[in-house]
């Protein structure tokens, strides 16, 4: 089918397969690209072509990288005793943007979700265990999302990491900066109360 359709139709088809882009949006985007300079489509095409050839996942932290191990894992200025576990590379970028955390990362590439068929074998948990066993880690921060899947994943990791001589920490749930107590959902409020700390 792909080879029979014209480039425009194939482009609409490809765009329409992206998450959150429907048929109408795909059409609109394809016309945008067609009306734009050919260089835009060329640069776009080249990035796509080189993507899988040049980008891989770091064998240590599982983040996306051009070199393995990734620059972060190779950086001598980072504290290699501390590993922050997150679900996605996007989470990693969000934390890196803070310029606050100086340890290393471990990207799970998802969260446990029996309902969607995501089991521990589908996540980079074996690789995390390997790091815990091989490297002299002092602290593992479980920063999975604060939703059902993220919580389940955090709890699962806590159980399998507990036997090791490690500090295992998590991020608190609490009042977002700028938000009022009144509007907070009861679960967050309850958890914030339970984890209150000295002023």
CA 164 to chain centre: 25
22 binds its own copies (CB under 8 A): no
Q: What is the DSSP letter of 93?
A: H
Q: Which of residues 64-83 bind its own copies (CB under 8 A)?
A: 64, 66
Q: Using CB under 8 A, pick the residue from 4, 16, 22, 50 that binds its own copies.
A: 50
Q: Which of 6, 133, 134, 194 binds its own copies (CB under 8 A)?
A: 6
- Residue 141's DSSP bridge partners are 84, 169
Residue 14 binds its own copies, judged by CB under 8 A: yes
Go through 5-26 and write b for each residue having 16 or more CB atoms within 10 A of its CB, e for each that does not: eeeeeebbeebbeeeeeeeeeb
3-class secondary structure per residue, 150-189:
HHHHHHHHHHHHCCCCCEEEECCCCCCCCCCHHHCCHHHH
Residue 20 interacts with its own copies (CB under 8 A): yes or no? yes
Question: Which residue in this structure is represented by tokens 């882009």?
Answer: 21
Is residue 52 a contact point for its own copies (CB under 8 A)?
Answer: yes
Binding its own copies (rule: CB under 8 A), the pick from 43, 68, 75, 79 is 43
What residues line the site for its own copies (CB under 8 A)?
2, 6-8, 10-11, 13-14, 17-21, 24-25, 27-29, 31-34, 38, 40-55, 64, 66, 88-90, 93
């Amino acid at each position: 089918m792909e080879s029979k359709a014209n480039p425009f139709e194939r482009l609409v088809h490809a765009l329409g397969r992206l998450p959150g882009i429907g048929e109408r949006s795909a059409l609109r985007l394809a016309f945008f690209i067609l009306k734009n300079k050919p260089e835009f489509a060329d640069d776009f095409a080249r990035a796509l072509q080189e993507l899988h050839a040049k980008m891989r996942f770091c064998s240590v932290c599982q983040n996306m990288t051009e070199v393995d191990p990734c620059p972060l894992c190779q950086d001598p200025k980072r504290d290699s005793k501390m590993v922050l576990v997150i679900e996605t590379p996007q989470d990693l970028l969000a934390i890196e943007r803070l310029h606050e955390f100086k340890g290393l990362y471990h990207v799970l590439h998802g969260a446990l979700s029996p309902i969607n068929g995501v089991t521990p074998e589908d996540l980079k948990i074996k690789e995390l265990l390997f790091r815990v066993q091989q490297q002299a880690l002092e602290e593992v921060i479980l920063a999975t999302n604060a939703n059902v899947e993220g919580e389940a994943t955090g709890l699962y990791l806590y159980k399998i990491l507990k036997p090791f001589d490690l500090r295992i920490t998590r991020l608190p749930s609490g009042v977002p900066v700028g938000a009022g107590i009144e509007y907070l959902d009861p679960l967050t409020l309850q958890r914030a109360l339970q984890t209150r700390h000295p002023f």
